Structure 1
Amino acid sequence: MVNKTPKNNEALCENSIVENVWDNSVPVEKSSYLHEDVEYINLDRFKHDKRKLTMLDLFCGAGGFAVGCSWAGFQSVFGVDHLKPAMNTWMLNHPNSIGCLGNIKKVDPLYVKRLLEERGVEKIHLITGGVPCQGFSLANRKHNDFDERNFLFLEYMRFVPSC
């Protein structure tokens, strides 16, 4: 985990890890921070602690679920998100895990299982994730029952059989 000190925060900003993410003139879905393709990160630095229960962190964002679960004794072995600044933060907090930057609909659960098995992970004990809620949130004045994000929870079900 990254120590949260003013000096570290300043260094992160200077190294462009933290930037001005949102340009209000660009629609969110057109943002260059969103990645539709799939890129696997950290394959060569993965380290599995066999004493810990393992988890997948779908829609991982910056990693709140994974941090909480690590306090409970889990190791997040894989995280996926399509927002680059969120994935950068997740990777800082989980430097020995595999990250996946991209659209979860394009991630093959069997490929993820194979990646993890090749690195000694025999079983996934928990699947977590923070599914986007903008489409059905009452706080969003433009919420829409047919927003495609409302159905992303189904992506969990694609991963369950391979775990």
Structure 2
Amino acid sequence: MSEKQLNVLDLFCGCGGLSQGFLDAGYNVMLGVDFEEAALKTFKYNHETSDVLLADLSKDEAIEEIADKIGDQKVDIVIGGPPCQGFSLTGSRDINDTRNTLYLAVVKAVRRFKPKAFLIENVPGIATLYNGIVKQQIINTFEDMGYNVSVSPKPLLAADYGVPQMRKRMFFVGIEKGYGSFEFPEPTHTPERYVTCSEAISDLPSRDEEFGEEVDNYEKKPQSLYQEFMRQNSKKLYNHVATNHTEHVKWVISQVPEGGNHKDLPPGIGDSRKFNEAWTRYHSKKPSRTIDTGHRNHFHYKYNRVPTVRENARLQSFRDDFVFIGTRTQQNRQVGNAVPPLLSLNLAKAILRHFDDVKSGRRKVKDLEQLNLELNI
């Protein structure tokens, strides 16, 4: 199966974090599809051999637009992370209700292109939404379409796979029946060996008294193996521009201890933000909290400012040669919405190993239906 590159179709691709992991694993990402133009510009800039399509995946015609774009090319794997809002409960057997439009885009793509496998990423809550009915609907729908569906037993923690971030996500992986069932990769890192914020970003210029340029030079040598990995293909520093906070905001941030949040502020300070993630300062010796799509709630472990786009990209495991296009707000949204490339890489490699094991005979591919047939049950 690995004698040729497997072709990947990436739906809801965003800037391309999920695709980056598959590219690094040796796949051919043929097309990225999204509705946000700035994200697609970033995707195309960094994935030069991949094509892009601006399309609304909630519309029926989007699948045929994809088919026209890829032509006669075979789709081997469909990947994507569709939003889960809008799920209805019209039936417990499948998710083929018109209100489930975004997930239906993946269903329609799999039905249309008949790939060997698919991968879906989503927030941890998808497993318990409506007491687990949505999760079962997803499994049932794809199993009825001819796939063995594996669900991560619990949300995968990005830090377990070398990402300096405590981000949790659920994954569904479907393998065409006849090719066995997928097994999720074992963690590569233990809590004692998690990559920390300091190991991820301590080499970057402080930007404590300056805002920086979109393209700049490094000032320090790499301080860790992770930083060496991040910088291996980059001679310039991109997207490392600091936010110009008011003196009052910087003063409030200065009151938050390393690893602390709004609960550590003195009474009467920072009252404008009192929700869970407000005024959270990263800890230099721990992975970061989940990178979000904004840039107002998390702060550098040392400096009194929010992280730059490049710092958050490092914490998401984007290498420094991955350049983000658009306004600062668009760049932050692209970084926050992305699947960490290192987490994606581990999953992509596990799918490759699965098919290689099937081909070599190391993995038994008989599914329950085949066994029942042989046993005349």
TM-score (structure 2 length as normaliser):
0.24
Provide Cα deviations, 1:105-150, integer angstroms capped at 9, x if missing partner: 33442442343235xx2x21111112125x4xxxxxxxx866x996
Identity of aligned residues (%): 32
Read off the aligned partner of 1:154 and give its amino acid letter. Answer: L
The answer to whether the 8 Å contact 2:57/2:63 transfers is: no
Report the counterpart of residue 125 of structure 1 in structure 2.
76
Number of positions where the alignment pairs a residue of Structure 1 with one of Structure 2: 101
Report the counterpart of residue 162 of structure 1 in structure 2.
112
The gaps in structure 1 that reach 5 residues or longer are: 1-49, 136-143
Q: Call closer, same or farther: CA 1:73–1:152 in 2, change over 3 Å.
A: same
Question: Within 5 A, what are the aligned runs for 1:136-151?
Answer: 151=101
Question: Within 5 A, what are the aligned runs for 1:1-163?
Answer: 51-106=4-59, 107-118=61-72, 121=73, 123-133=74-84, 135=85, 151-163=101-113
Query: Structure with the greater relative contact order (CA < 8 A, sep ≥ 6): 1 or 2?
Result: 1
The answer to whether the 8 Å contact 1:58/1:130 transfers is: yes
Q: Call closer, same or farther: CA 1:89–1:54 in 2, change over 3 Å.
A: same
The answer to whether the 8 Å contact 1:61/1:130 transfers is: no
Partner-residue secondary structure (3-state), 2:106: helix
Per mean C-alpha deviation after superposition, the further-off stretch among 150-159 and 66-75 is 150-159
Q: Hey, what's the Cα distance between the residues in 2 that align with 1:145 and 1:116?
A: 29
The answer to whether the 8 Å contact 1:52/1:74 transfers is: yes
Provide Cα deviations, 1:26-79, integer angstroms capped at 9, x if missing partner: xxxxxxxxxxxxxxxxxxxxxxxx931101000001101100011111111111
Report the counterpart of residue 308 of structure 2 in structure 1.
none
Report the counterpart of residue 22 of structure 1 in structure 2.
none
Read off the aligned partner of 2:78 and give its amino acid letter. Answer: I
What is the aligned-residue RMSD (CA, Å)? 2.6
Q: Call closer, same or farther: CA 1:132–1:78 in 2, change over 3 Å.
A: same
Provide Cα deviations, 1:11-38, integer angstroms capped at 9, x if missing partner: xxxxxxxxxxxxxxxxxxxxxxxxxxxx
Q: Hey, what's the Cα distance between the residues in 2 that align with 1:91 and 1:149?
A: 31
Partner-residue secondary structure (3-state), 1:104: coil
Q: CA deviation at 1:83?
A: 1.1
Read off the aligned partner of 1:128 and give its amino acid letter. Answer: I
Read off the aligned partner of 1:153 and give its amino acid letter. Answer: Y
The answer to whether the 8 Å contact 1:131/1:153 transfers is: yes
Read off the aligned partner of 1:117 and give its amino acid letter. Answer: G
